[in-house]
C-alpha cells in the first residue's frame, strides 16, 4: 500500500522551515523516528498522524492520500503558512482541535493535470486496498471472538442453532 504521509510530512515540514526535531517534539518522539516516517521505513499511529495533520492544518485524509507537493495552495493559504514558521521550543505545541479544509487551486497545465489525475486514481486504488484489508481484519476479529466465546462456555451462533433443535 502506497501512502503519501512520509512525503507530505517532509514537504510540509520544509515548507514551514521546521526540522525533524521540531516535529518530534510535537508528537513526543525522537527525530530519528520522524526521519523513518519520512523515508517510509516506519509508520506512525493514527493518533500521531492526526496530531501532525492538525498541526499543519491539513485533513488527515489528505496527509495520507494526496501528494501535497503537486497541489498548489491559494495565495491566502501561502500567506497564512509563512506567518506560522517555527513552533516555540517549550512548552510543546498542542494542535488545534478543528482542521479546516484548505482552499486548493489545481494546476492549469495539462501535464500537471494528468499527473494529478494519475495520483487521484492511485489514491482510489489505495483506499480500496485499505478497505479490503480492514474488512479482512474485521472478519478475523469476529472469528477470534467466536472462538473466545466458545472457549469461555458462552454459546456461539453454532451452539445456539444446534440447541434450538
Three-state secondary structure readout of the chain: CCCCHHHHHHHHHHHCCCCHHHHHHHHCCCHHHHHHHHHCCCCCCHHHHHHHHHHHCCCHHHHHHCCCCCCEECHHHHHHHHHCCCCCCCCCCCCCCCCCCCCEECCCCHHHHHHHHHHHHHHHHHHHHHHHHHHHHHHHHHHHHHHHHHHCCCCCHHHHHHHCC
Is the pLDDT score of 1 beyond 50? no
> What percent of the chain has a predicted confidence (pLDDT) above 70?
66
List the end-to-end C-alpha distance of the chain, in Å, as a whole number.
47
Give me the pLDDT at residue 111, please: 65
* Rounded Cα–Cα distance for residues 70 and 57 (Å): 17
Going by C-beta distance under 8 Å and a sequence separation of 6 or more, which residues neighbour residue 148? Answer: none
User: Does 133 have pLDDT greater than 60?
Assistant: yes
CB 88 within 8 A of CB 18: no
Q: State the residue for C-alpha cell 514537504.
A: 11
Please state the pTM of the whole predicted model. 0.45
Average pLDDT, the chain: 75
- Please report which confidence band the pLDDT of residue 152 belongs to, taking 50, 70 and 90 as the band edges: confident
Delimit the domains of the chain by residue range: 5-105, 123-163
Architecture per CATH, domain 5-105, reads as: Orthogonal Bundle (1.10)
Question: Tens digit of pLDDT for each residue in 69-81?
Answer: 887 555 555 555 4
- Output 97 or 58, whichever has higher pLDDT: 58
Report in angstroms the alpha-carbon separations of 80 from 68, 75, 89.
16, 9, 21
Q: State the pLDDT at residue 86.
A: 47
Position with higher pLDDT, 145 vs 129: 145
Q: How far apart are CA 67 and CA 130, in angstroms?
A: 17
Question: Using one digit for the tens of pLDDT, what is the confidence trace for 36-57?
Answer: 999 988 888 888 888 898 999 8
Amino acid at each position: 500500500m502506497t501512502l503519501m504521509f512520509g512525503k507530505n510530512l517532509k514537504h510540509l515540514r520544509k515548507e514551514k522551515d521546521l526540522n525533524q526535531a521540531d516535529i518530534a517534539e510535537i508528537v513526543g518522539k525522537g527525530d530519528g523516528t520522524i526521519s523513518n516516517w519520512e523515508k517510509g521505513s516506519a509508520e506512525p499511529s493514527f493518533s500521531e498522524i492526526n496530531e501532525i495533520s492538525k498541526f499543519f492544518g491539513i485533513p488527515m485524509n489528505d496527509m495520507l492520500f494526496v501528494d501535497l507537493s503537486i497541489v498548489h495552495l491559494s495565495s491566502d493559504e501561502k500567506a497564512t503558512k509563512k506567518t506560522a514558521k517555527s513552533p516555540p521550543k517549550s512548552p510543546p505545541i498542542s494542535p488545534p482541535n478543528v482542521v479546516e479544509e484548505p482552499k486548493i487551486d489545481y494546476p492549469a497545465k495539462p501535464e500537471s493535470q494528468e499527473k494529478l489525475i494519475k495520483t487521484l486514481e492511485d489514491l482510489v486504488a489505495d483506499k480500496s486496498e485499505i478497505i479490503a484489508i480492514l474488512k479482512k481484519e474485521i472478519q478475523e476479529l469476529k472469528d477470534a471472538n467466536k472462538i473466545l466465546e466458545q472457549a469461555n462456555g458462552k454459546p456461539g451462533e453454532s451452539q445456539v442453532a444446534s440447541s434450538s433443535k
